[in-house]
Structure 1
């Protein structure tokens, strides 16, 4: 029995009830895979130029970090409502809602740039972040449609599917900018046209083809009545219960810290490179390598999590993130060998932390708090990353890119502490 289940605050699971099977597991997983490809284009096309667009509109480099922080804050604010919607109506409804908001956000950014009304850019990027939140929650949808015993691999497969779209997105930045300017849009706005179209297709695909029972009702859940308890438990109450479980706490820190480090460094890389005279095309190449690192090796990471355990995969991720930030400290901005290497490793370390942490957080807690805890964890990681993105612009201004990487390295320290504590508390 998990520690969460034995806590006096944990609810008593409802009596077992008949649960519906997942309709057409193969079709559902295929829809999630194709949808993640589209969502990858949607997120990456806009995010690749968001900081540059804000820098262009405001003329203040420190404000560039607020572009990413606005998007990540939007993801944080929508993570819990989307999780609640998944409990009540099903993951497909939650995902479609998130992608529709992402499409709306892309349209608001375009309108803001055309009108010159800068605050609307940040509002649009916050709505844009809902698409990111939906894409992240799709990894949990993958575990819900997976055959028993294949949850981690299904999660990693859906994340891997994001690779094609996410790598293509930044590479389309130049084309999007050209198309946008050809139809009269300001510079750097065109990529958001691709983002809006991709999110629109994602919304239609999920709404038309994906059908899942409310989260927690799925056959194969460890407790058939867990969904009734999930509906009664708030996300932050679930977080409080899980925090008493060292393994669950390590999993939460793995997700939050890995995402914070990745976002804090990644968002300032385009600004850093272009400030040293590198082109938008080269920026797109580096960001594409970074995203390839995030998603390309995810099937291997998922397989490792099944073979050697999620905790060990998280520690591997810590080492990779530390190496990435060290290279970032030492590499010149125009070094097109070391900078892509650092960003690729940054993505790979994030993949280990996210997959290892997500698998562990699902395994370490009672099913009665699983779904609300997933929402709270995603909200926490996005909120922390939003703060990191907002501050990274100021750190870049005062300490350069080396300062950004050094601060990111320090974020790994509490994760190491939680990992050691979890290993010591775990029974032999």
Structure 2
């Protein structure tokens, strides 16, 4: 996905009104793609660990599906970022969603054949859809003004709520439909994921025109003030940034990485923690509410990031994650209400961290380096999430869900030195 062919940048809009119209169209397309992508990613969150548990007969490797999915998303984030830098968002996102659809279909086949090897390989490929669904948030910022970037990110993310919540809530129905078709019940959500990711690829391919990244690049300097035009060359990466920009990239990346680690670690093992005491419908409800909290608050979060500042909101996200870890640790497994509260707080903390960190990253980069740096940072996010997914199973097997929740929540405190450093550099 990293060919050298580079398209000619589209003709820039003639006026700010034209530019705003293109931005509205871009956000509309991104919103539709995110709705579909959300339905695709929900399968792995809801039943991935349960499918592995059934195939492998134990809890120690139940975190492996999330680990493989996030490892696959790391590879895809790098490839989609580089492809987007060279060919534009449309080509990069369409390719990523298409590969994710193939991975989801492979998981269905693995479930039918009861093949753990095929399951693990397909989960890795399926991760491309997860990575692409997250990378789509950047497409909404390419034509946004600096004071509206947080809102643009949140608009893209909130659309994910529809599909991401509908998936877990319909897990029983999808399981019944799969069983009626002669498939294992847990394969049902992944069949939906294959259709959803495939549809997202089609939507992006047909409708994301003009390409927002190529259009913004054609206007020069983010299209926000007069200046020399920047052609569609592939820019450098992190090493090409100045000190202040580097601090912004490092801090934004740290916020998103730590947020991902805390969320993935606790979320991965929650279905396994609940299963001895609750049915699949209850587990689906908990995950659905968790995913709702991951995306629906974006209606407000983006505006707060724009108004209160990136650092302030990142600190607030860390505090919410800490609270989530404490509640999850102290909640009895029989208490569905308290675990819902913990997972809602976990989703909210992730939402705040992702939007504030993403906006920091966009602020710190220009159009000659942006997509490539964004892809690199998303690799770090995915690799960190993969590690958290693997270790979560071993921590619970070797200790307890209590320990996992405490460690996951306390990890948010690692953000304090990064945020203090970022503030010092900005004020220097």
Q: TM-score, normalised by structure 1?
A: 0.90
In 2: Cα distance, 1:385 partner to 1:256 partner:
8
C-alpha change, 1:27 and 1:273, in structure 2 (3 Å) is: same
- Tell me by how many angstroms 1:81 deviates: 1.0
- Tell me by how many angstroms 1:227 deviates: 5.6
Cα deviation per residue 1:184-227 (whole Å; 9 max; x = unaligned)? 11231111111111112111111111124373651444676556
Q: Does 1:408 align with 2:408?
A: yes
In 2: Cα distance, 1:109 partner to 1:227 partner:
41
Q: Partner of 2:209: helix, strand, or coil? A: coil
> 2:86: which partner in 1?
88
> 1:327: which partner in 2?
327
Kept in 1: contact 2:44–2:66 (CA 8 A): no
Kept in 2: contact 1:163–1:295 (CA 8 A): yes
Q: Does 1:250 align with 2:241?
A: no
Q: Does 1:233 align with 2:269?
A: no
> 2:12: which partner in 1?
20
C-alpha change, 1:319 and 1:95, in structure 2 (3 Å) is: same
Cα deviation per residue 1:2-29 (whole Å; 9 max; x = unaligned)? xxxxxxxxxxxxxxx9963468333222
Kept in 2: contact 1:95–1:134 (CA 8 A): yes
> 2:73: which partner in 1?
75
Kept in 2: contact 1:242–1:249 (CA 8 A): no
Kept in 2: contact 1:100–1:200 (CA 8 A): yes
CA RMSD across the alignment: 2.2
Residue of 131, 153, 162 corresponding to 1:133: 131
Residue of 62, 65, 83 corresponding to 1:64: 62
Greater shift, 255-264 or 39-48, is seen at 39-48
> 1:197: which partner in 2?
195
Greater shift, 387-396 or 412-421, is seen at 412-421
> 2:378: which partner in 1?
378
In 2: Cα distance, 1:141 partner to 1:97 partner:
15
> 1:119: which partner in 2?
117
In 2: Cα distance, 1:366 partner to 1:31 partner:
23
In 1: Cα distance, 2:285 partner to 2:190 partner:
18
In 2: Cα distance, 1:19 partner to 1:381 partner:
34
In 1: Cα distance, 2:413 partner to 2:254 partner:
10
- Tell me by how many angstroms 1:60 deviates: 2.2
Q: TM-score, normalised by structure 2?
A: 0.90
- Tell me by how many angstroms 1:114 deviates: 1.2
Question: How many residues are paired up?
Answer: 408
Unpaired segments of 5 or more residues in structure 2? 1-8, 14-18
> 2:42: which partner in 1?
44
Q: Does 1:29 align with 2:30?
A: no
In 2: Cα distance, 1:106 partner to 1:370 partner:
29
> 2:3: which partner in 1?
none
Kept in 1: contact 2:27–2:155 (CA 8 A): no
1:325-404 mapped onto 2 (5 Å cutoff): 325-404=325-404
- Tell me by how many angstroms 1:421 deviates: 2.2
Q: Partner of 2:117: helix, strand, or coil? A: helix
In 1: Cα distance, 2:345 partner to 2:269 partner:
16
- Tell me by how many angstroms 1:176 deviates: 0.9
Q: Partner of 1:368: helix, strand, or coil? A: coil
- Tell me by how many angstroms 1:375 deviates: 0.8
C-alpha change, 1:242 and 1:282, in structure 2 (3 Å) is: farther
- Tell me by how many angstroms 1:265 deviates: 0.9
Kept in 2: contact 1:217–1:227 (CA 8 A): no
Cα deviation per residue 1:341-372 (whole Å; 9 max; x = unaligned)? 11001010011110001101111244433222
> 1:174: which partner in 2?
172
C-alpha change, 1:130 and 1:368, in structure 2 (3 Å) is: same
> 2:297: which partner in 1?
297
In 2: Cα distance, 1:337 partner to 1:214 partner:
43
Greater shift, 277-286 or 147-156, is seen at 147-156
C-alpha change, 1:224 and 1:184, in structure 2 (3 Å) is: farther
